[in-house]
Structure 1
Amino acid sequence: MLKRSLPFSTLLLALACTAPGDAVPAKPAEPFKPFLSLRPVAVSLAKGATQAFQAEINYPEGMRYMRQPVAWRVVEPEGGTIDGAGLYTAPATAGTYHVQVKREDFPEVSATATVAVK
């Protein structure tokens, strides 16, 4: 029986290529950046009229919510009302008011729309 052996340099190269820790590290994941947009951003309404506002957000990878985690409010007292679905009702007094939506999961992220009531 004929024994065949590999040259030492070939054996060393084979071991070096498979040694643990020599793999190219994976690119680190980008940190999640919460996003929130509001539509429309400006609207003109008659006194007592309604306007539906829409919020669009992104979600962290792998996260799903039962409902969109946003909270609505009218900034000015007596500036009308807004419900949990984003339906705004203008007040009986003309003026400029602001509707704000804020992410509940990232409270520092918010957006504001301007409402001119005539």
Structure 2
Amino acid sequence: MLGLGLDRCLCLLYPIKYTSFKARFLVFTIILSMALILAFSLIFRILPAYPTTAETKCLSFGCTTTTNGGEIYTYIRYLTSSAVLITSGFLLYLVRFKLKLHLSQKLKTQNLRKFLTTF
């Protein structure tokens, strides 16, 4: 979601320049974010929770994870969610700014037409 939000923001900020490298940027951003999340999950959740014995203390797979891994997972979820929220807010601001700019330009041309037709 973060890559898609950045893609939309760049489309609004630089519409002409961005079309030349649009697909490469979106794919690179998505691959990079997936690699980072996979690396954090591997380092903090999967490797510490690797069972040393064949038997577990409970019947569920969720029992094998560590408490530190659960905390790191929670932090990663909050971090990615807040990044998506911030990007969405910035995108909303850009859309409102572009719409206001378009409407003000439209009103100027309408006022100019009215002014010219009155004389």
**TM-score by structure 1 length?**
0.27
| Greater RCO, CA 8 A, separation 6+ | 2
**TM-score by structure 2 length?**
0.27
Higher relative strand content: 1
Larger Rg: 1
Higher relative helix content: 2
